[in-house]
Chain A
């Protein structure tokens, strides 16, 4: 219920159009009523051979229809306007809110679920607003109008007509529990099927390399067959409900009216015309609205789930927020300090323990360590995707939490291991780093990332589409485009998280050249497994289980003979031995 109150509040901005809709609805419902009455009058006149102006009857009927058409047009327009506006606004808000949420949110939630939040849940809401709300108003107005008229005309006949409605309602209530359960079963089975389908299609490569196609098809058939049975059950229940409803409403209702109404006519208590009007009122205008009113309940339940999810998203507070007094960080030099930094993703499980580091502007720092040692966390904290649990990170003396997130991230360029490019042209992808970059700047960046020659060899050059509709790039090519993108954004602090791991040594050395050039004058953070890429660092930080174990230059660390030295020897032992074996002169 609280959800609906909140929804009403959300709708407040649209109160003018809603009032208009209410008025139009009542008019539409009202326009439905005179038709049968006019016909009744016509029939009675004919019956009693009274004179009647037939042209007027014709005009009235056509006029009412024209009115209904016109008002209906306005009504639909208003309702569509309301629904679509609301949908658009909700989607905008959800999307822009999601954009403000921290990375942790996206790691926890599945893409499909977030998408369906924006698409399906909002659509469900729209069905409630532009479908059920309007129908509710229209049905209530119609029902009240019809009841008033039939009770005035012949209250006994009205009571007779209404006498079947309890059975009508009871039939509905008896079925609905079973239907709901069946629908839940269908939904559950469907979700299982969808989940599996999604995974197996995304993993087509694995399915194929193990030649498991037939097994997968067999399993899928099993699932869809279950779904088939459940769906047939569900549709049978629905059919039973509606068949009985039709029998009670149209069958028994009409039979009763003709029987009792006929008696009334014969006793001269009712005119034949009114009897005909009664039949059309009761069959056309009464049972339908009664049933739809009961059904609303169900609709509300379904919408409530959607509302929960929508408001749940909107209420999720970003973990990382600008402080009210956050300042815009001016252009920085790139002096980074970690001061007693502690961090934990899950309470009680520190990933970083009391980290202290002082990185001067322009320095290149390399992080070395086993997976899970905290290297990536170190740099995630620097971009402020997470806030430190304890301690502080300072950039040029500013505590990261005291400056606006935008002004920080604009000066930190990140190239990550998993290359994400968008389905647009190569040019647009590179330009993503600086939206107002000229074509020349884009091409310069491509050149610096050693990818220009590859792009220029393509028939459409920089305008080549990549991704689904375009060409396929190799992992190394993608990575270099991502690097060009980062180069273009010209950050003061550069973060390379395994940025070159999918490049072979030759390309890597080409790119290393570009990167060396790029890193000059910038503070850079590098995470790499391959020691050969990091030996040139000013500072190598060896991490283990969230603690800095060693820090120093390559030579210093080798002399210390600690973890780094043993890692190093391990990686080069084979090569060195083979060199020896080959008798290469040293």
Chain B
């Protein structure tokens, strides 16, 4: 219920339009009232007294009423359509802006498809609710408010009879609600499960095929759709029982009115036309009750959708600018970790008491077994997460005191996964810097050893990638990501295993270019291949969330420890033969 109130909050900026809409609804409802009265007049007065002239007038009056109704209802519907779309727009805008504010941890835990569903489908459901359900509900209530006095004024006895069946209806409806509510939730859940399975198994098709599990997966899928089917059937049955009961209750009411009304006509306390008009009005009384069924189903779905949309909006971004955060435009690039600890979850410490002081212009390599916390460490520099304890300082200032945007703009980050967008190669490279010239783009591509490849493409730099364009290999994507990062001319460059998918020859080329680029910047390099990091100023060795050693390659390799082991492991099998071959 609080959700609905909150949704109404979205209408607040447009409250005058909403008032106007309600007023127009009132007018539309009002125009529906005269017709039964006119029919009554025709039957009771015009026809028995052969008032030919009046009949002609009545023709024009009806046309007039409907013309007026048409104009009002057109304005109303236009207004409602606008309001609905506007609220959708606002909700989408808020959700998207909010999604952009949310920290990476939000995305880590969720599938893109589900986030999308919230931003798109759920908001659409809410829109149907506003333009459909809400409007009908209000119109119906207005109708009731107008019709009940009218029928009581016409004939109290008949009105009481007509109203007598309403409590039965309400009771029946309440019983139904109790059953249908949990069912709607179940249906929604089973549908989500169906979509989830589909998404997962279609994107994981290589695994399904590799283990020859096609039949197994089909069986699993049938189970999911079967469940959905059973629930849908139960829902249909329940809905239909309610509708059937409502039809009968309504018929009992109408039948009673005809019965008693006809008796009243017999004793001349009621005229025939009045009876006809009266039965016309009770249609207005019962129809809204029947419509409640539809509205309920709609409201259930919309309620679930609102829960999800508001859940997104209520998720607090973990990383936000402090109120007094300042902009730092020209970073020198010193980075200091002071007693930094961090955990993705409470009982899972990824970094423990990290202390590290990096001077501007240094090249820092980070090595260690997987799960040691290397990626986490660099993620903290880009402030994708905030340290649980301790502080990270850039140029001596706690990064929580610097405006997020101003830090990230000066950090070039190449992550393990190379994500590119479905635009042209040039636009992808330019993503970090919109005002880059063609020459700068080409230079960046050359640095990443991509230029020659791009020139072999018919459309060159304007080749589109992604769905409608060409498919790049993992190595090519990685090089694109490197080109994109170098173009921004960042003060701090972070390379998280950025060259892992390149073959040795390409890697050597890219490495040479990167070494040039690293000059004058602060660099953090994570790599598994020791050959790529041996030239670093300092090598940070990590294990189980801690820094276990720091030093140059020569220092580290000389002393016993994790690094020496790593080094020996990697070269053990090859070095003897290689040395034998090369040196002796």
Q: Does A46 contact B (CB under 8 A)?
A: yes
Given contacts A194-B120, A531-B574, A567-B505, contact A417 B198 (CB under 8 A): no
**CA–CA, A58 and B208, complex, Å:** 65
- Rounded to whole Å, the gap between the CB of B488 and the closest CB of chain A is 7
Q: Does A328 contact B (CB under 8 A)?
A: no
Residues A175-214 near B (CB distance < 8 A): 194-195, 197-214
Q: Is the CB of A567 within 8 A of B276?
A: no
Looking at A13-21, A291-299, A505-513, the stretch in contact with chain B turns out to be: A505-513
Q: What are 11 sample pairs from A and B whose C-beta atoms fall under 8 A apart?
A: A77-B237, A209-B384, A232-B82, A236-B78, A243-B74, A247-B66, A252-B66, A263-B55, A265-B47, A502-B500, A574-B534
In addition to A72-B244, A205-B104, A371-B503, 17 A-B residue pairs with Cβ atoms within 8 Å of each other are A58-B258, A62-B248, A65-B248, A69-B244, A73-B241, A115-B198, A197-B119, A204-B100, A213-B100, A217-B97, A246-B66, A255-B63, A272-B43, A409-B209, A504-B372, A532-B570, A574-B534
Q: Does B19 contact A (CB under 8 A)?
A: no
Q: Which of B78, B206, B221, B506 contacts A239 (CB 8 A)?
A: B78
**CA–CA, A190 and B323, complex, Å:** 37
Residues A217-244 near B (CB distance < 8 A): 217, 220-221, 224-225, 227-228, 231-232, 235-236, 239-240, 242-244
Q: Does A80 contact B (CB under 8 A)?
A: yes
Binary per-residue interface labels of chain B (234-270) against chain A in the complex, 1 for a CB within 8 Å, 0 otherwise: 0011011101110110111011101100110110000
**CA–CA, A574 and B557, complex, Å:** 14
Q: Does A70 contact B (CB under 8 A)?
A: yes
B38: A residues at CB distance < 8 A = 258
SS of A interface (majority): helix
Q: Does A149 contact B (CB under 8 A)?
A: no
Q: Which of A73, A243, A498 contacts B77 (CB 8 A)?
A: A243
B213: A residues at CB distance < 8 A = 432, 435
Binary per-residue interface labels of chain A (507-536) against chain B in the complex, 1 for a CB within 8 Å, 0 otherwise: 111000000000000000000011110011
Residue of A nearest to B468 (CB): A195
Q: Is the CB of B404 within 8 A of A228?
A: no
**CA–CA, A292 and B502, complex, Å:** 62
Q: Does A385 contact B (CB under 8 A)?
A: yes
**CA–CA, A55 and B89, complex, Å:** 57
B531: A residues at CB distance < 8 A = 571-572, 574-575
Q: Is the CB of B66 within 8 A of A250?
A: yes
Q: Does A336 contact B (CB under 8 A)?
A: no
Q: Does B14 contact A (CB under 8 A)?
A: no
Binary per-residue interface labels of chain A (95-120) against chain B in the complex, 1 for a CB within 8 Å, 0 otherwise: 11011100100110011101100110
Q: Is the CB of B216 within 8 A of A435?
A: yes
B81: A residues at CB distance < 8 A = 231-232, 235-236, 239
Q: Is the CB of B210 within 8 A of A414?
A: yes
**CA–CA, A32 and B221, complex, Å:** 42
B534: A residues at CB distance < 8 A = 574-575, 578
Residue of B nearest to A130 (CB): B236
A570: B residues at CB distance < 8 A = 504-505, 508
**CA–CA, A494 and B335, complex, Å:** 46
**CA–CA, A350 and B529, complex, Å:** 33
Residues B182-228 near A (CB distance < 8 A): 194-196, 198-218, 221-222, 225-226
**CA–CA, A224 and B97, complex, Å:** 13
Q: Which of B112, B237, B572 contacts A198 (CB 8 A)?
A: B112
Looking at A134-142, A351-359, A468-476, the stretch in contact with chain B turns out to be: A468-476
Q: Is the CB of B202 within 8 A of A417?
A: no
Q: Which of A54, A77, A555, A572 contacts B575 (CB 8 A)?
A: A572
Residue of A nearest to B82 (CB): A232
What are the 5 closest A-B residue pairs judged by CB atoms, nearest first? Answer: A251-B66, A476-B370, A65-B251, A235-B81, A69-B244
Q: Is the CB of A84 within 8 A of B229?
A: yes
User: Quick one: which of A62, A209, A225, A498 has the most chain B CB within 10 A?
Assistant: A209
Q: Is the CB of B370 within 8 A of A99?
A: no
A220: B residues at CB distance < 8 A = 92-93, 96
Q: Is the CB of A279 within 8 A of B39?
A: yes
Q: Which of A96, A231, A567 contacts B504 (CB 8 A)?
A: A567
Q: Is the CB of B67 within 8 A of A88?
A: no
User: Quick one: which of B131, B218, B574 has the most chain A CB within 10 A?
Assistant: B574
Q: Which of A114, A216, A505, A530 contacts B100 (CB 8 A)?
A: A216
Given contacts A224-B93, A246-B70, contact A258 B104 (CB under 8 A): no
Q: Is the CB of B85 within 8 A of A232?
A: yes
Q: Does B444 contact A (CB under 8 A)?
A: no
Q: Which of B86, B100, B201, B574 contacts A532 (CB 8 A)?
A: B574
Q: Does A27 contact B (CB under 8 A)?
A: no
Q: Does A66 contact B (CB under 8 A)?
A: yes
Residues B431-462 near A (CB distance < 8 A): 431-432, 434
Q: Does B22 contact A (CB under 8 A)?
A: no
- Rounded to whole Å, the gap between the CB of B303 and the closest CB of chain A is 21
**CA–CA, A215 and B70, complex, Å:** 44
A119: B residues at CB distance < 8 A = 194-195, 198
Residue of B nearest to A68 (CB): B247
Residues B534-549 near A (CB distance < 8 A): 534
Residues B79-132 near A (CB distance < 8 A): 81-82, 84-86, 88-89, 92-93, 96-97, 99-101, 104, 107-116, 119-120, 131
- Rounded to whole Å, the gap between the CB of B413 and the closest CB of chain A is 4
Q: Is the CB of A118 within 8 A of B198?
A: yes
Binary per-residue interface labels of chain A (274-318) against chain B in the complex, 1 for a CB within 8 Å, 0 otherwise: 011001000000000000000000000000000000000000000
Q: Does A554 contact B (CB under 8 A)?
A: yes
**CA–CA, A216 and B247, complex, Å:** 53
Q: Does B175 contact A (CB under 8 A)?
A: no
- Rounded to whole Å, the gap between the CB of A182 and the closest CB of chain B is 12
- Rounded to whole Å, the gap between the CB of A266 and the closest CB of chain B is 5
Given contacts A213-B100, A255-B63, A409-B209, contact A502 B370 (CB under 8 A): yes
Q: How many CB-defined contacts (below 8 Å) exist between A and B?
A: 456
Q: Is the CB of B70 within 8 A of A244?
A: yes
SS of B interface (majority): helix
**CA–CA, A503 and B528, complex, Å:** 8
**CA–CA, A216 and B476, complex, Å:** 25
Looking at B294-302, B353-361, B416-424, the stretch in contact with chain A turns out to be: B416-424
Residue of A nearest to B32 (CB): A250
**CA–CA, A545 and B417, complex, Å:** 26
A221: B residues at CB distance < 8 A = 93
B58: A residues at CB distance < 8 A = 255, 258-259, 262
Q: Is the CB of A423 within 8 A of B200?
A: yes
B488: A residues at CB distance < 8 A = 210
**CA–CA, A529 and B27, complex, Å:** 76
A98: B residues at CB distance < 8 A = 202
Q: Does B344 contact A (CB under 8 A)?
A: yes
Q: Does A433 contact B (CB under 8 A)?
A: yes
Q: Which of A205, A212, A236 contacts B415 (CB 8 A)?
A: A205
Q: Is the CB of A58 within 8 A of B104?
A: no
Q: Which of A95, A433, A503 contacts B221 (CB 8 A)?
A: A95
Q: Is the CB of A535 within 8 A of B574?
A: yes
Given contacts A57-B255, A115-B202, contact A474 B120 (CB under 8 A): no
A213: B residues at CB distance < 8 A = 100-101, 405
A72: B residues at CB distance < 8 A = 240, 243-244, 247
Q: Is the CB of B370 within 8 A of A475?
A: yes
A279: B residues at CB distance < 8 A = 39
**CA–CA, A558 and B205, complex, Å:** 40
Q: Does A410 contact B (CB under 8 A)?
A: yes
- Rounded to whole Å, the gap between the CB of B196 and the closest CB of chain A is 7
Residue of B nearest to A320 (CB): B209
Q: Is the CB of B419 within 8 A of A224?
A: no
Residue of B nearest to A284 (CB): B283
Residue of A nearest to B557 (CB): A582
Q: Does B475 contact A (CB under 8 A)?
A: yes
Given contacts A62-B248, A254-B62, A570-B504, contact A73 B240 (CB under 8 A): yes
**CA–CA, A471 and B278, complex, Å:** 66
Q: Does B565 contact A (CB under 8 A)?
A: yes
Q: Does B553 contact A (CB under 8 A)?
A: yes
Q: Does A586 contact B (CB under 8 A)?
A: yes
